[in-house]
């Protein structure tokens, strides 16, 4: 099975010049915890509810701060034509719950989340992915910009 077979293709995309208030509102309206950040259809970052809570609030930024001030610019992604099991293993290794999906022209075409895996992948693969993502530690830093 390929990533494109189960990814969510109807993706909300934020602009780096929108405010974190607008990002939070979009997350609330769509019941999601992360937004890819793009200029046109080019992926330039990700912003999560945790980025808003930890990076923005901890630095004393208000709701009118721009997304680009708190987003993660170093974004991991996968390609739509990659094998799903390989991508699931990678998600576990790098400990991410969601990956933007690009086509081979590096244009944003979707997002792959753990919930997509759980619904469509075999229980063993989904379980291994969740276990890997949930391991303590890792190189993730909330202070990074």
Kindly list the domain boundaries of the chain, sorted by start residue: 3-133
Interval 69-82: pLDDT, tens? 999 998 899 999 99
8 A C-beta contact, residue 113 and residue 97: yes
Q: What is the pLDDT of residues 133-143, one digit of tens each?
A: 677 665 444 44
Q: Which residues pair with 111 in a beta bridge?
A: 8, 100
Residue 89 pLDDT more than 60? yes
Q: Which two tokens stand for residue 125?
A: 């693969």
CATH architecture of the region 3-133: Roll (3.10)
The 3-state DSSP class for residue 73 equals: coil
What is the reported pTM? 0.80
Give 14-41 pLDDT, tens digit per residue.
999 999 999 999 999 999 999 999 987 6
């Amino acid at each position: 099975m390929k990533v494109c077979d189960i990814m969510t293709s109807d993706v909300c995309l934020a602009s780096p010049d929108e405010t974190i208030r607008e990002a939070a509102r979009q997350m609330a309206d769509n019941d999601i915890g992360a937004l890819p950040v793009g200029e046109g259809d080019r992926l330039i970052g990700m912003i999560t509810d945790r980025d808003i809570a930890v990076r923005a609030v901890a630095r004393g930024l208000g709701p009118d701060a721009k997304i680009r001030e708190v987003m993660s610019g170093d974004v991991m992604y996968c390609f739509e034509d990659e094998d799903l099991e390989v991508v699931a293993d990678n998600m576990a290794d790098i400990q991410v719950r969601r990956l933007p999906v690009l086509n081979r022209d590096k244009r944003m075409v979707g997002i792959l989340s753990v919930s997509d895996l759980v619904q469509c992948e075999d229980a063993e693969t989904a379980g291994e992915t969740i276990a890997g993502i949930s391991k303590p530690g890792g190189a993730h830093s909330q202070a990074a910009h």
